[in-house]
Each structure stands twice: as C-alpha cells, then as structure tokens.
C-alpha cells in the first residue's frame, strides 16, 4: 500500500514575516536562546478572542497581540489530532501517518503511528540546550516522554472538565479521586505548566525552555465555573445572527477581514451528530440542531441557546485567565522578554452535538458537571465569523485559526497584522531557524 510523501521539503519558516530584529543572536549559545511557549486552544473559533473581534474578555491574549503580531490568513487542519501532529512535527499530518487520504493511505488517521523519523519538536531542541515540558491535551501517538518532554501532564477530558479520570503525568496514570472536588481541567493544565516552569527555574536557570500548553477549552462539553458563567449571563440574548454582525463589524474595523458575512447553512451539520429529534428527546425541546435564523426559534429555545453561549464564552474567558498565570510565572523568573509565544487553535469552532462521558442530565444547570452539551451549529457559525461552516470542514470556518505571536526581545514591530498565508507546519521550521536548530533537508522515505 502506498503512503503519502508530501511535502517534498521541510516547510517554510515565518521568520521574514515576523519582522525579527536582525540583531537578535539566533544562533548564540544556550543562555541567549529564546524560551518557547506554544499555546493551543481546542475548537476555538476564528473570532472568539477579543483581539479577533470578540466580546469575550481575553485581556492576556489581547496584550500579546498588542505587543506582537496577529495573522489574518493562518491555517490548521480542521481536526484535533492532525493539527497537533503538524504543530509538533512540522509536517502535514498525512506525511506522518496522523491523518489519512481516503483510498490511498490505510495507515494514517487518528490512531496512526508516526514513522521513526517523524520526531517531535523537543528532539530538535534538546541538542540546543532546551528543556521541554508539556501540559494539557495530547491526542498524539506515543507518550509524552517518548515525544521528548521531560515532564508531561496529559489531562483526561473524556468525561468533561470536572473529572480528572484518565489523567497521566510522566507516563503514570493518576488517581481519578485526587483533588476531584476542586478540579477543573483548564486550571489544572495551567497549574502543571506553572509547576514545571518553577522546577525549570530552580534546576536550569541558565537554560532555555520549551513549554507546550494545550488546553481542552473550549471543546465540548460546555463546562465552566459558575463565577465565569455569571459574567456572560445575559450577553447573548440577541442571538447568533446579531453576534455575527457585531463581530464582523469589529473584524472589518480592525482590518483583519475584508469580506461579507457568510450565510448560515442550516442543512449542513456533522454527519455523526445526533439528529435534532434525538437531541430534543434527550435534552429537551429547547435544543436546536441546525443553524437556522434566530428569529425562527421559540422563546424557550432562545433562552436556552443564549445560556449555552454564555458557557462557551466563560470557557474562553477562563482559558485566558490561566494563560495569564503561565505568562506571569515566566515574568517572575525574568524570562518573558526573551520568550517567543505562539497562540493558535487546532481547528475552527465545532458544530458537534454529541453526548459522551457521563451523559446528559436535563435537570442539571447548563455548564455544570452533569450537563453535557455542545454549542451547536448556530453558535459555531458565530464563533467562526465571518467564515463558512465549522470544525472538520475544509472551508475557512474549519481551517482558519487566529495566530498571535509575541517576542518582546525579537520582534521589532508591535500591534500589527500579517496577511501572509501560513500553516501550522510553519511553526517548527520557524523555531528551528530562530534557535539555530538543524532542519531536515528533505522528507525521509515513506517507509521506516
């Protein structure tokens, strides 16, 4: 069976696009090399951050953007596992067996195993003196340690944000009852990143670090802390049509987009979603399975749907708070000025409406542990403003990601937009060019 062999060369570097200061010692010794922080959101829409047109409070992301750069045409792979493979290998997922080509490649996909040559970024960085740490979602083949991370906290997430079941730290499965009473995965992921950064400062004060910070948020289920939900309680009563117009106006004013608003497409939903009749049977008549005009909903549906979007906003809001804690830890050790920060989403917002984990209790408050809801195609369309469709589609709504890049010591311009097209595969070669790392000259043979 043939396997895919593209690209024929290692992907491009974004160095010229980033406007890197020429005086920065890219190939200097390890003490001068920049720290690296890659932050990945899960199922976050193109317009969900404040600096990309959102009403959601994301002051930490907004500050990174104000001090750095925002990309307007940066792309992911529209799916979770394939994007993570691209982020950490620098190759298209099909090249490293982490996505399949229908009728061509039987070895790739969400359960595919990378070839031996398809190493992750920590393996490139270790010879340069870097110490690498991972905290959060994994969704790759192999373990964190096999991927080159000295410490790896792989959060579970199968049962939602309040359940630590399935969590693995340094290849050891943790007890599901440990700290369950106060557990919320977004906070736990940041906690472990902070822990590893503190250990790094204590043990390797003169060495650079690579921190891979991969949140589950705001992937379904809609789970958030009550105090965060309260902030957005009545924000979305006007509905997704009004929100899309509001966000488009902000995006256009900022110069991020120059296009009309895409139309809603009520007949296009993920084929694996529960049918709307089944959703209403399990959840209630207020659930909506299609991106229909807001004014066609009943008053009960409008109230229920507005409450769901308040939880989604709270999830993004909390993720930003936890990003701020990690950034503050880096500042506290005096490393922020020379830290390159990349923020991306693995795909667009999700129209998926699937009930997994512990199931859905219709009597439970929306956003609580016993609730298991998805935002649905109406709000997904709003999160992906102004683009068409959703996660898993190769339309802009599925593949367009915000990209924020900050590096105070190395980027000479601030609060600017970059319209050059780019892809997740460009992150690794950019980092290697900045750090003086060795890049492969060509893709190895398809077979091991």
Three-class secondary structure assignment of the chain:
CCCCCCCCCCCCCCHHHHCECCCCCCCCCCCCCCEEEEEEECCCCCCCCHHHCCCCCCHHHHHHHHHCEEEEEEECCCCHHHHHHHHHHCCCHHHHCCCCCCCCCCCCCCCCCCCCCCCCHHHHHHHHCCEEEEEECCCCCCCCCCCCCCEEEECCCCCCCCCCCCCEECCEECCCCCCHHHCCHHHHHHHHHHHHHHHHHHHCCCCCEEEEEECCCCCCCCCCCHHHHHHCCCCCCCCHHHHHHHHHHHHHHHCCCCCCCCCCCCCCCCCCCCCHHHHHHHCCCCCCCCCCCHHHCCHHHHHHHHHHHHHHHHHHHHHHHHHHHHHHHHHHCCCCCCEEEEEEECCCCCCCCCCCCCCCCCCCCCCCCCCCCCCHHHHHHHHCCCCCCCCCCCCHHHHEEEEEEECCCCECCCCEEECCCEEHHHHHHHHHHHHCCCCCCCCCCCCC
pTM score above 0.75: yes
Those residues of the chain that have pLDDT short of 70 are 1-11, 21-31, 103-106, 177-180, 441-448
Cα–Cα distance, 318 to 219 (Å, whole number): 13
Predicted local confidence at residue 91, as pLDDT: 93
Cα–Cα distance, 295 to 288 (Å, whole number): 13
Predicted local confidence at residue 357, as pLDDT: 84
pLDDT tens digit string along 71-113?
A: 999 999 999 999 999 999 999 998 898 887 776 666 777 888 8
Predicted local confidence at residue 19, as pLDDT: 77
Do residues 236 and 259 lie in contact, with contact meaning Cβ atoms separated by under 8 Å? no
Predicted local confidence at residue 177, as pLDDT: 64
Predicted local confidence at residue 4, as pLDDT: 38
Task: Tell me how many degrees the CA angle 58-314-241 measures, rounded to the nearest 5.
Answer: 90
Predicted local confidence at residue 21, as pLDDT: 56
Predicted local confidence at residue 28, as pLDDT: 42
Cα–Cα distance, 10 to 1 (Å, whole number): 24
Cα–Cα distance, 17 to 74 (Å, whole number): 12
Cα–Cα distance, 158 to 339 (Å, whole number): 32
| CA proximity to 83, closest of 70, 96, 72, 73 | 96
Predicted local confidence at residue 395, as pLDDT: 97
Cα–Cα distance, 425 to 263 (Å, whole number): 30
Predicted local confidence at residue 101, as pLDDT: 72
Residue found under tokens 């016993």: 370
Buried b (16+ CB within 10 A) or exposed e, 131-163: bbbbbbbbbbbeebeebbbbbbbbbbbebbbbb
């Amino acid at each position: 069976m043939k396997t895919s062999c593209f690209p024929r060369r290692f992907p491009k570097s974004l160095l010229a696009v980033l406007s890197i200061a020429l005086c920065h010692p890219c190939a200097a010794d390890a003490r001068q090399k920049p720290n690296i922080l890659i932050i990945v959101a899960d199922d976050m829409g193109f317009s969900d951050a404040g600096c990309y047109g959102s009403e959601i409070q994301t002051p930490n992301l907004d500050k990174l953007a104000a001090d750095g750069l925002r990309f307007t045409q940066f792309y992911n792979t529209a799916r979770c596992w394939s994007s993570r493979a691209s982020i950490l290998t620098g190759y298209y997922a099909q090249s490293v067996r982490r996505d399949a080509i229908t009728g061509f490649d039987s070895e790739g996909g969400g359960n595919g195993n990378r070839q031996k040559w398809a190493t992750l970024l920590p393996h490139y960085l270790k010879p340069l003196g870097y110490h690498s740490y991972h905290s959060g979602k994994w969704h790759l083949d192999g373990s964190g340690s096999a991927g080159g991370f000295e410490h790896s906290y792989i959060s579970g997430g199968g049962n939602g944000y309040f359940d630590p079941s399935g969590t693995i730290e340094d290849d050891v499965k943790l007890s599901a009852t440990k700290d369950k009473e106060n557990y919320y995965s977004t906070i736990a992921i940041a906690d472990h990143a902070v822990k590893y950064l503190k250990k790094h400062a204590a043990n390797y004060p003169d060495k650079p670090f690579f921190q891979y910070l991969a949140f589950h948020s705001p992937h379904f289920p809609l789970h958030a802390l009550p105090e965060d939900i309260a902030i957005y309680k009545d924000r979305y009563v006007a509905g997704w049509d009004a929100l899309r117009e509001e966000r488009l106006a902000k995006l256009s004013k900022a110069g991020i987009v120059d296009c009309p608003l895409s139309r809603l497409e009520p007949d296009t939903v993920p084929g694996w979603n529960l049918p709307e009749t089944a959703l209403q049977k399990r959840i209630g008549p207020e659930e909506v399975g299609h991106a229909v005009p807001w004014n066609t909903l009943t008053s009960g549906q409008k109230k229920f749907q507005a409450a769901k979007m308040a939880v989604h906003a709270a999830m993004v809001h909390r993720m930003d708070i936890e990003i701020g804690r990690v950034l503050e830890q880096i500042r506290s050790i005096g490393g922020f000025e020379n830290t390159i920060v990349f923020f991306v989403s693995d795909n667009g917002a999700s129209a998926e409406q699937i009930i997994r984990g512990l199931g859905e209790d219709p009597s439970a408050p929306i956003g609580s542990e016993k609730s298991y809801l998805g935002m649905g195609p109406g709000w997904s369309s709003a999160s992906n403003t102004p683009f068409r469709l959703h996660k898993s589609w190769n339309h802009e709504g599925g593949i367009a990601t915000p990209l924020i890049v900050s590096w105070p010591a190395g980027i000479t311009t601030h609060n600017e937009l970059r319209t050059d097209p780019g892809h997740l595969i460009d992150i690794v070669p950019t980092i290697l060019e900045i750090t003086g790392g060795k890049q492969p000259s060509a893709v190895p043979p398809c077979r091991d």
